[in-house]
Amino acid sequence: MSGPPTKGMILLEARSAILYEQLRSRIVGDKRDPCEISFYDFDDVGIRIVCQESSPNVVGVHLNIRNIAELKRMGAQEVIDRLYPGMETTPADGYNFAISFDCDAVADKEKFLDNVAEIRKNILGGPLDKAFGLLLAKQSANMAPMVVNNRPDEPMFVVENGGKIIVIFAVDFSDETDRTLAKVFLQEFEEVQRMYVRNAPPCLYSPAGNPPGELSRVTYTPKSTLAGFLSFSVEERHITGPGKNNAIALLTSFRNYLHYHIKSSKTYLHMRMRKKVAAWMLVLNRAKPEIETEKKTVSGKTFVMK
């Protein structure tokens, strides 16, 4: 199942467009020439697609994920074994995870292509996959709280509480304007869920000085530039069937989604201010009297003043 559909430019996709396009021609199509393509994706994840001349049907996908060891421990290993069985291989220099597969030997081509194109989300979502799996199997009661550090100062906490999985994001911004805007956005999430979108997991905004109760079970020192916390209370009904994959895609993209929209709001404000300045300039120009640049004498001779 591919990620949530993009509505114009509002939602972010879970799958990497570059990976999808490059691999489509090889997995579904029959492109077999050697290549080496490196690029970056969200969360500072570096990706490289390698195809050697000696084995044109074998493609290697190398990734550099900052907290790969932590993720593997917390559930990503099971995801890798499930979606990319037997494909794990030695990563190249500068990368810390890799899979390698034979394009000719792929069974369900479209499905596998989707899985590889979403590899970043699948691995980063490992802890969520584990937690949701436990919830569905009704075995989440003794789940240890997980602290996932996809980014250095912005941990995501996955904690079990009362038959629900609470996913808590610590939202941090170094700039004060961003912080204030973030607070507005986070509070809207809570209100919109409560009033309009009752089907979504209940959201709770906690200011930086008053972290949510679940965090008392983990060791965590908040930074002074924290804007606050947003907690999603995920219940079984949110993750049945295709909902599980959908929820993982949405939650792994939450931080990037928030930052993207805060930046685009700043751009919007900038455009508004420009427009206002232009309007005021017009008013100010009215204050200048019109200077005669052309004068005529009675006999018709014209003088032009520059």
- Site residues for other proteins, window 214-243 (CB under 8 A)? 238, 243
The C-alpha R_g of the chain, in whole angstroms, comes to 27
Q: Are 180 and 191 in contact (CB under 8 A)?
A: no
d(CA 40, CA 179): 26
Residue 6: which residues within 8 A CB-CB, separation 6 or more? 12, 13
- Site residues (CB under 8 A) for other proteins, limited to 196-215: 196-197, 199-201, 203
Residue 305 interacts with other proteins (CB under 8 A)?
no
Q: Which of 192, 223, 240, 295 binds other proteins (CB under 8 A)?
A: 192
Interhelix angle 176-195/243-286, rounded to 10 degrees, is: 120
Q: Which is nearer to other proteins, 198 or 301 (CB)?
A: 198
Taking phi over 0 as left and psi of -120 to 50 as alpha, with beta for the rest, 154 belongs to beta
Contact between 148 and 156 under an 8 Å Cβ cutoff? The reply is yes
In the bound state with other proteins, the residue whose beta carbon lies nearer, of 7 and 306, is 7
Specify the 3-state DSSP secondary structure of 126. Answer: helix
Q: How far is the CB of 284 from other proteins (least distance, A)?
A: 5
Q: How far is the CB of 230 from other proteins (least distance, A)?
A: 10
Instruction: Tell me the C-alpha to C-alpha distance, in Å, between residue 43 and each of 4, 183, 207, 269, 283.
Output: 19, 22, 24, 26, 47
Q: Which of residues 242-301 bind other proteins (CB under 8 A)?
A: 243, 246-247, 250, 254, 257, 261, 265, 268-270, 272-273, 276-277, 279-281, 283-284, 286-289
Residue 17 vs 269, nearer CB to other proteins: 269
Contacts with other proteins, residue ranges (CB under 8 A): 4, 7, 10-11, 176-177, 180-181, 183-185, 187-189, 191-193, 196-197, 199-201, 203, 238, 243, 246-247, 250, 254, 257, 261, 265, 268-270, 272-273, 276-277, 279-281, 283-284, 286-289
